[in-house]
Structures are given as structure tokens and as C-alpha cells.
Structure 1
Amino acid sequence: MFKTVLFAIDQSREAREAAEKVVNIVQTYQANLYVLAVVEPKEPEGEQPHSEPMASPEAVNLLLKEAHTMFTNFGIDAKPIEREGKPAFTICDVADEIDADLIVMGSRGMGLTEEGVADSITNRVINLSPCPVLVVP
């Protein structure tokens, strides 16, 4: 049923809790797992940012490394993907690129920003997704 699962991660507690569901789904369906971290681009000089991006490559690298280690401990080969862009659009674009059967994400993710704008990100993903979306509270 689910051959390819895309897990969109950020630094939120909900994303960490969603990882449990991802392990169960991937093991049950013997699915391929892609773990995606999206970093919002910085605003051009002179423009006011909507939020302060935490776009440091180190932060994203650490997040993906921790996720990879956690999934490896469950015997799952998670393929990390790092992208820059608007989170909802990027998540849906990547899902389309990898032909995902399911997107899993936390309900109130923070994105990789200091201020959370996740409710709208989650809603946008649900509305734009090329496949089913599992939102974990």
C-alpha cells in the first residue's frame, strides 16, 4: 500500500512523536523512507522577514543526522533530503519527485525557524499534496 514514505521533519516535539508512527508504517509496509528538512530562504536585503530563518547548514545537518541515526537503530535505511524553499510547496514538490505514497508530518511543526507558522504549513500541505498526508498530533 505504501511503497515510498516522505517524513517532513523540523525541530518540533510533534515531529519527534510522528517518528514513532513512521517507524511502524515503514516496517509494516517495507516502504522506502525519505526524511526531508526544509529551510526557508532568507529574505532579500531591505525586506522585512515574516520569521527569522534558522538556515544554518549545521542545524539542518544535525537534525537530519539525528533522524538518520534514530531510524538506523530500527533497521530502517532513511534517505535524507535537504531543500531550501517555502516549506509546504517544497514538501509537496519532493513528494511528487520521489513518487511518495504518503507524507507524514507533525501537526504543529515549527519549521526550521525560531517562530512557528506550522498550522498554515500543515494545512497547505494537506491541500497541495499529490498523495495522502498523515498528520500526527
Structure 2
Amino acid sequence: MIQKILLAVSGLGHAEEMLKTLTQLPSIQKAKVTVLHVVPGKTTTEAMTAKWEEGGRILANAIQTLNLDPSQISSILRQGDPKDVVCQVADEIDADLIIMGSRGLKRLQSILSNSVSQYVFQLSSRPMLLVKDDIYVKNIKRIMVAMDKSDAAKHCLKLATFLLQGIPGGQLILANVDTDLRGKSSEITEVSSEKNPVFAAAVAEAQRYAVPARCYTSSGKPGEEICRLAEELNVDLLLLGSPDRRPSIAKSFVDIDRLIGASLSDYVRVNATCPVLLARTEA
């Protein structure tokens, strides 16, 4: 399911570390990796030469850090607007997953600071793994999927079961939040899948791939609860579906509601204490 990965590197953050952790998973070990660094286009000729040289060093360091079989990895150094170039290259190589670092900027800060990762997520339909600068990347054994009845959640479930195949001691955590917009949180409760129709189908899917699954519920504001569940259950990777509800004519434009922080995915992206894989499906 994940055969081609695009890793966008800037020389900062934990994106390389995240990919190195991913490539230890049996399901990912044969994936082809393209490492991309983008040199900003608006600068003087003298500065541009220095930027190209710096970009070459960043790519070389990333490839050395990853230490993959040379047949599995390639690099691209390109000039342009980073948020546009990442989307273009992802389409060119038909990437199954984009991995980027993220500063975890909140709401309008994403616009004012020209957040590359936020714009790429807005404009690409491909799954995107965001790794904030301030988190610790752990070996992946416990993957959590925020479950509801949406197609986006089902897509995340498929990705999670794929990633967990062959991991000794690997575990799928299924979490469902009963929305309480007053913000009153309940205790986190482990439940049997038979008592929740959302869980029943998900557990059956996991069993098809021999992936152990445990189910948890809580109530409160969805974004806050998903982050709390991930932290308290010691999750290594969180998968969250993010359906695209814009009409087809607007697919190439940024979803302002997401950028100003009105969406669930935006809240989780900013506040989760583990890496977040956002998977979009069209509503």
C-alpha cells in the first residue's frame, strides 16, 4: 500500500528520523524513497549559489542519516516555492505518503508564517505524516486510529493495519470520542468491540491481517480527547482521517476553515504529542 515515499527535508526537525523509524517496519522495508529539498527562488544570484550548495549538503546528510540501500533511494534538489514544489514532486513520483517536519503553528500563524506543511496538506490528496519539531520519535509498536463511521477513518484503518503487519508486539488502538462540546471530559474506558458498531467492523478488519486491536472510548471535545487518548495510551503514531468537503471546482484552493484552526485535523496536528498521519478522502 505504501510503496513510494516522498521525504521533504529542510535540514531541521525530525522528518529524517521519522522515516528511518518507518523503514524498520516490515511493511515499509521495500518502499522506494525520494528525498526532496527545495531552494527558494526569490534571492540574488550570489545567494542562490550558496543556497544550492547548502541544499546539496542537506540532501547528502539526509541520505547518510537514512542509510538505505542505494537502489531504494533517490534525491531531488529543485528551485521554487516549497509548498508548490512538494505537491508537484509528489504527483510526479505518484507518492503514497509524504513526510514533512512541522513547527506545529496554530491557527492564523500558519498563514502568517507561510507554513509549508499546512499548505501541502491542504492542496494534496495524498496521506501526509507530520512530525513536529518538539516531539520524540519512538519505535512504532502502538498505532492509534481515531474511528467513526466516515470513509476517511476507514482509510486510516487500512493504512494502520498495513503498517502493523509483521511487527512483534504491535498493537492497534481504536479510539472513538462521544462529542461533548461543553468540554466535559470523561474517563478513558476500554470497551468490547461488540458493544460499539464503529469498533465491530474495525476489529474484524484488523483480525483479517492478524493485527491485535483494543478499543477505547471517552467523551469531550473531539480534538482535545483524541490528543489526550494518544498521550495517555502511550501511542507511537496517530492516524486521523480528514475528509475534503470542498466542491471539485475549489480543490486547488486552500480550505480557509482548516487554516484558521476550525477543523479537527488542524487541532490535532498542532497539539498531539506524537507524530500524526493525516489521510484525506473526498466526501
Q: TM over 0.5, yes or no?
A: yes
Greater relative CO, 1 or 2 (CA 8 Å, sep 6+): 1
Q: Hey, what does 1:67 align to over in structure 2?
A: 62
Post-superposition offset of 1:22: 4.4
Are 1:124 and 2:123 counterparts?
A: no
User: What CA distance in whole angstroms lies between the structure 2 residues aligned with 1:118 and 1:134?
Assistant: 20
Q: Report if the CA contact (8 A) 2:16-2:65 is conserved.
A: no
Are 1:80 and 2:75 an aligned pair? Answer: yes
Sequence identity percentage: 36
* CA shift for structure 1 position 54: 8.9
Question: Match of 1:40?
Answer: 40
Tell me how many residue pairs correspond in the alignment.
122
1:107–1:118 Cα contact (<8 Å) kept:
no
Report the TM-score, using the length of structure 1 for normalisation.
0.74
**Higher mean Cα deviation, 73-82 or 60-69?**
73-82
List 4+ stretches of structure 1 deviating above 4 A: 52-55
Residue number among 126, 129, 134 corresponding to 2:129 in the alignment: 134
The answer as to whether partners of 1:87 and 1:121 remain within 8 angstroms in 2 is yes
Q: Structure 1 residue 19: deviation in Å?
A: 3.6
Larger Rg: 2
- Give the Cα separation in 1 of the matches to 2:58 and 2:9: 8
Deviation at 1:11, TM superposition (A): 1.7
Q: 1:14 to 1:55 in 2, by over 3 A?
A: farther
For structure 1, the 5+ residue unaligned runs are 45-51, 110-116
Once the two structures are superposed, what CA deviation does each residue of 1:35-83 show, in whole Å capped at 9, x if it has no partner? 0001111258xxxxxxx98952210111111112222x34363200011
TM-score (norm 2): 0.38
